């Protein structure tokens, strides 16, 4: 059953701006990414799509998304004025925004695994997917709110089902913070907040044919790794990282 589309205003005293966007709440959808893009292209209004269930969701680089017992599946579609070279920062910005929303909604602090994973200890509780077509950017996030029997290396935020209202609230809070950061421009992306929440920095990481020690996040979002007393910048489109222990 499709719930009514409503108008929502983002008003942040910290960002000192108002950004209007549509909210579309659905019981079931194939993909919030596809739905958000289609609706934005029709209305030309920034749109948040949030669903109780999606049956054809996808992860980064085409990976399948496994659905928990209660998840938040949401996507924001909008037109971005960010330069093409700055858009790799968007997954990091979206991750910081969801960390903020989770803390505000549930009082839980999640870690950020570079570039786009939300973590509790060493288990993944959510992820970010950004897809760009021309000036249209679709930013998706899936979060495991409650999962009675999670798959290996996954976890959920809560020990009991918070209900559907919690899904809508979390999605809306995330979109508010996310759009606020995007409106500030790439030069003011929350780099310090990302580094403070990182569970990758300070650890040995592996990628492709290399191994090194993660030491910083560069201004363009690259992971800075020390290897043989030299610093290398790794970028999300080129590498995969994991703890070596």
pLDDT (tens digit, 9 = 90+) per residue, 173-232? 999 999 999 999 999 999 999 999 999 999 999 988 789 999 999 999 999 999 998 999
CA distances from 147 to 51, 60, 234 (A): 17, 21, 33
Cis, peptide link before residue 40, omega less than 30° from 0: no
Q: Which of 7, 138, 141 is nearest to 74 (CA)?
A: 141
For the segment 24-49, the average pLDDT, to the nearest whole number, is 95
Task: Quote the pLDDT of residue 1.
Answer: 34
| Single pTM value for the model | 0.88
Please report the sign of the dihedral spanned by the C-alpha atoms of residue 184, residue 186, residue 189, residue 194: positive
The Cα–Cα gap between 124 and 114 comes to 12
Domains of the chain with CATH codes: 6-194 (3.30.930.10), 201-245 (2.30.30.100)
Question: Using an 8 Å Cβ cutoff, are 92 and 103 in contact?
Answer: no
SS3 content of the chain, % helix, strand, coil (to 5): 30, 40, 35
Non-local CB neighbours of 31 within 8 Å, separated by 6+ positions? 54, 56, 57, 58
88 strand-pairing partners: none
pLDDT tier, 240 (very low <50, low <70, confident <90, very high otherwise):
low
Show the tokens assigned to 80.
């971005």
Per the prediction, the chain carries an average pLDDT of 87
Query: Higher-confidence residue: 158 or 210?
Result: 158
For the segment 5-27, the average pLDDT, to the nearest whole number, is 60
Q: Which of 37, 42, 50 is nearest to 5 (CA)?
A: 50
Q: Which of 129, 147, 118, 132 is nearest to 65 (CA)?
A: 129
């Amino acid at each position: 059953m499709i719930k009514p589309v409503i108008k929502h205003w983002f008003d942040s005293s910290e960002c000192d701006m108002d950004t209007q966007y549509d909210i579309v709440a659905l019981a079931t959808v194939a993909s919030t990414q596809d739905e958000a893009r289609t609706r934005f292209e029709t209305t030309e209004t920034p749109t948040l799509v949030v669903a109780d269930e999606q049956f054809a969701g996808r992860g980064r680089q085409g990976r399948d998304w496994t659905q928990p017992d209660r998840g938040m599946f949401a996507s924001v579609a909008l037109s971005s004025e960010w330069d093409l070279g700055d858009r790799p920062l968007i997954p990091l910005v979206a991750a910081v925004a969801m960390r903020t929303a989770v803390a505000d909604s549930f009082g839980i602090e999640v870690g950020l695994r570079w570039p786009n994973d939300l973590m509790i200890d060493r288990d993944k509780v959510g992820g970010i997917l950004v897809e760009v077509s021309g000036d249209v950017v679709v930013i998706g996030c899936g979060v495991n709110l409650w999962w009675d029997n999670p798959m290996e290396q996954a976890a959920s935020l809560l020990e009991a089902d918070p209900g559907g209202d919690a899904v809508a609230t979390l999605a809306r809070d995330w979109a508010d913070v996310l759009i606020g950061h995007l409106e500030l421009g790439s030069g003011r992306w929350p780099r310090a907040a990302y580094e403070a929440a990182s569970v990758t920095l300070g650890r040995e990481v592996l990628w492709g044919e290399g191994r090194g020690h993660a030491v910083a996040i560069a201004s363009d979002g690259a992971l800075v790794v020390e290897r043989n007393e030299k610093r290398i910048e790794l970028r999300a489109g080129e590498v995969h990282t994991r703890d070596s222990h």
